[in-house]
Amino acid sequence: MTAMVKSEGVHKSFGQVEVLKGIDLEVNTGEVFCLIGPSGSGKSTFLRCINHLEKINAGRLYVDGYLVGYRQKGDKLYELKDSEVALKRRDIGMVFQRFNLFPHMTAVENVMEAPIQVKGVKKADARDRAMELLERVGLGDKAKNYPSQLSGGQQQRVAIARALAMDPKLMLFDEPTSALDPELVGDVLDVMRDLAESGMTMVVVTHEMGFAREVGDSLVFMDGGVVVESGNPRDVLTDPQHERTKSFLSKVL
């Protein structure tokens, strides 16, 4: 299997504060890769580095074989232009904890927007595709609703459809269900499960250990900006090897 994401000694600091202290990991193509860890451990930051919403300070990060944010010539690194970064981001879908749907557009317009604006897809074609995707996440009948007229779970499913509309190779999920009422979590997880079955490569930051165990192919436990433990989710969750993993799991399970 080839690596969709490859991280070699990735460091990230905000000012004086070092948030990522050398992350080494590999996400294989087609797998569901779960990232767990206590608050402030740097999970979101790492996810945002993958699509270059944050610049890394040291190390190398590759997506689909390409260096993120830079071009290497000899032993020199050249920063990519904004337009080149944007080009790379098309292939990486991202789903946020707080949905971040565009509030001035209806559900279907949210899904159509990027294909039209970024890929130059024709409006009619984009609409057909958007409707298809909304059906897929079970919201065909909500296409004309504005985000404020949808429940949190419905908004998150529209957000997933919006990311899928760009036909990404990789999907990043940053705690997609943490802002949801418990009874709405299931619908979103079902959509993610379907997506995993269709073979999408997914990196999922989550506190849903049930989902990680059931759907995840690999799992990494992060704490304090480093990877503490990694492996098969069922093994790590049932029989953690490290003290820090044990104490974290005892709190969340």
Partner 1 sequence: MTDKLDKSPSDTPPPGDSVSAGAASGPAPETIKAIPVRHYGRWISGVIVVALLVALGIAFSQGNIQWHTVSDQLFVSSVVQGAGRTLLISILAMIVGVVLGILLAVMRLSKNPVTSTVAWLYIWFFRGTPVYVQLLLWFNLALIFPVLNLGPIYKNNMTDVMTPFMCALLGLGLNEAAYMAEICRAGLLAVDEGQTEAAQALGMSHTKTLFRIVIPQAMRVIVPPTGNEFINMLKTSSLVYAVTYNELLRSTSAIGSTSYAVMEMLFVASIWYLAMTSVFSVFQYYLERYYARGSSRSLPPTVFQKIKANLIGLGSERGKG
Site string for partner 1, 1-40 (x = CB under 8 A): ----------------------------------------
User: Counting contacts by CB under 6 A, is residue 45 touching ligand ATP?
Assistant: yes
Pick from 73, 76, 104, 251: which binds partner 1 (CB under 8 A)? 104
Residue whose CB is less far from partner 1, 82 or 243: 82
Smallest distance, Å, CB 180 to ligand ATP?
15
Buried b (16+ CB within 10 A) or exposed e, 66-99: ebbbbeeeeeeeeebeeeebeebbeebbbbbbeb
Q: Which of residues 23-42 bind ligand ATP (CB under 6 A)?
A: 37, 39-42
From the list 202, 196, 107, the residue with the least C-alpha distance to 150 is 107
Minimum CB separation from Mg ion for residue 211, in Å? 16
Tokens representing 57 are 């300070």
Q: Does 228 bind ligand ATP (CB under 6 A)?
A: no
Q: How far is CA 179 from the centre of its chain?
A: 15
Q: Is 44 in the site for Mg ion (CB under 5 A)?
A: yes
> Using the rule CB under 6 A, is 94 a contact of ligand ATP?
no
For residue 42, the partner it binds in Mg ion, ligand ATP, partner 1, none, with Cβ less than 5 to 8 A by kind, is ligand ATP
- Selected binder of partner 1 within 27, 101, 205, 228 (CB under 8 A): 101
* 252 part of the interface to partner 1, by CB under 8 A: no
Site string for ligand ATP, 183-222 (x = CB under 6 A): ----------------------------------------
Residue whose CB is less far from partner 1, 157 or 162: 162
Span near Mg ion by CB under 5 A; candidates 40-48, 51-59, 98-106, 210-218: 40-48
CB 147 within 8 A of CB 107: yes
Bridge partner residues of 36 (DSSP): 221
Contact residues for ligand ATP, defined by CB under 6 A: 14, 19, 37, 39-45
Contact residues for partner 1, defined by CB under 8 A: 51, 53, 82-83, 86-90, 92-94, 96, 98, 100-106, 113-114, 117-118, 146-149, 162-163, 166
